[in-house]
Amino acid sequence: MTWAGKSLRSMHGWLLLGSMFFVSGAQGAQTAGAAQGEGDSPVSAEEASVSSGPADMPARAPSLSSQIWGDHTDVSLGVMLGTRPTYMGAKETQGGVEPFFSVSRGIFFFDPRGIGVQYGSDDGLMASLSIGADPGRSEKKSSAAGRPGSERLKGMGTIRSATTTNLTLSVPVTDWLALTGAAEFRVHGAQRGNTFHAGFDVAALDTDSDQITVGLKAHGGNQRYNALFFGVTPQQAQTSRFSAFEAKSGLHAYSLEAGWNHVLDRHWSITGGVEAMRMANRAAKSPIVEKRTGVSGFVGVNYQF
């Protein structure tokens, strides 16, 4: 496995959790790849018997069923402390303590992305397909985990939660650079549109105990999505403090991200991450946007069974 691939795999689970605090609209689907710890588990006796044999006999490849279902279940639990803007473009921030979980077996996983399937090759190619949820946005400060909201949005109405299909992909270019892409398509929730994300990740450091990854991303949406989160209809203008504003499809933000993972032993690790997001193009001119640049961050501890 390449340097970039190994680093991104080991950090993936915690960056998912951090993305719950990163108000980018991705809700955990921006980082492609397998769940934390996949590929680092010891080889089972069954796998050893399949992959090895007498010197004069060729090794047998694992069966298709073992590749799909795997031979064991990986479980991780943890807790993190994070802070983020109360919504995309907000000046106000909010923080909290949130739990983290990740369950995976073979190509299947259940974690903050949702429930789905994933693939990771030895050369660092990573992809996933999942069904997840977008928490929407409240017109008051929300106490719900991961749900944006602010009293400043009073009169704008509540953006209801939606079910989405999430696609992620990470393609290695060199040992230290990978191109990334992600998309979220609305499955249920008439209000919500579709979002798209593209960028790259750099494996800045990769040792047995520490991994640091830095990334730059561009975030965009179709007209329905951008109008929902950045637009103000004439009706909303009458009930809120904002003037009417028409949001169009296209890029609405850029972000610079950095993540760090420190392995204490076989089970325990600590991690941290920070993201600076800059609103862009027409979305930056929305009356909803108080502050064009918002910073989010998190630190946490994780236990892998």
Give me Rg for the CA atoms of the chain.
Answer: 21
Q: Judge whether 144 and 161 are in contact, CB under 8 Å.
A: no
Nearest to 183 by CA among 194, 170, 193, 191: 194
**Which pLDDT score, from 0 to 100, does residue 113 have?**
83
In three-state secondary structure terms, 253 is: strand
- State which CATH number among 2.70.98.10, 2.40.160.40, 2.60.40.10, 1.10.10.1800 fits the domain covering 3-40+73-304: 2.40.160.40
Give the containing element (helix H, strand E) for 49. Answer: helix 45-51
Q: How confident is the model over 216-267, as pLDDT tens digits?
A: 999 999 999 999 999 999 999 999 999 999 999 999 999 999 999 999 999 9
Below-50 pLDDT ranges, the chain: 1-17, 19-57
**DSSP structural state of residue 226:** H
Of 101, 91, 87, nearest in space to 13 by CA: 101
Domain boundaries along the sequence of the chain? 3-40+73-304
Q: Which of 204, 206, 73, 180 is nearest to 128 (CA)?
A: 180
Predicted pLDDT at 70: 86
Q: What is the pLDDT of residue 62?
A: 63
Neighbours of 214 (CB within 10 A): 15
